[in-house]
């Protein structure tokens, strides 16, 4: 069974980026190195993974990504504090 990940990245300018993927290691590498990273993160490198959740279905991960994207910056920072 496949796993899906929703994640928060902290960019070099301290902004947060939310995304989802099936391969977290590869996606982080793409954000930091390749042209396949999101346009938002390309100019804000280096990025670092600060939070991640795992889901078993694409539907669930997309719903969660949408929920997180609607949160304020401070609310998202709460996730990162809990993860430490």
Q: By percentage, how much of the chain surpasses pLDDT 70?
A: 96
The tally of domains found in the chain comes to 1
The pLDDT tens digits for 56-65 are 999 999 999 9
The pLDDT tens digits for 22-45 are 999 999 999 999 777 788 999 999
Q: Which DSSP string do the residues of the chain spell out, in sequence order? A: ---EEEEEEE-TTS-EEEEEES-HHHHHHHHHTSTTS-HHHHTS-S-EEEEEEEESSHHHHHHHHHHHHTS-HHHHHHHHHHH-
CATH assignment at residue 55? 3.40.1440.10
Mean pLDDT rounded to a whole number for the chain: 92
The candidate with the shortest Cα–Cα distance to 84, out of 54, 49, 58, 57, is 49
Print the domain residue range for 47: 4-83
Burial class (CB in 10 A: 0-12, 13-18, 19+), 64: middle
Question: What is the pLDDT confidence band of residue 80, given thresholds at 50, 70 and 90?
Answer: confident
Q: Indicate whether this model's pTM tops 0.95.
A: no
């Amino acid at each position: 069974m496949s796993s899906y990940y929703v994640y928060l990245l902290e960019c070099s300018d301290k902004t947060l980026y939310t995304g989802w993927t099936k391969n977290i290691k590869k996606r982080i590498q793409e954000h930091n190195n390749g042209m396949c990273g999101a346009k938002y993160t390309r100019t804000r490198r280096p990025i670092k993974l600060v939070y991640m959740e795992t889901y078993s279905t694409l539907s669930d991960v997309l719903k969660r990504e949408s929920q997180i994207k609607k949160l304020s910056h401070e609310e998202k920072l709460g996730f990162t504090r809990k993860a430490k």
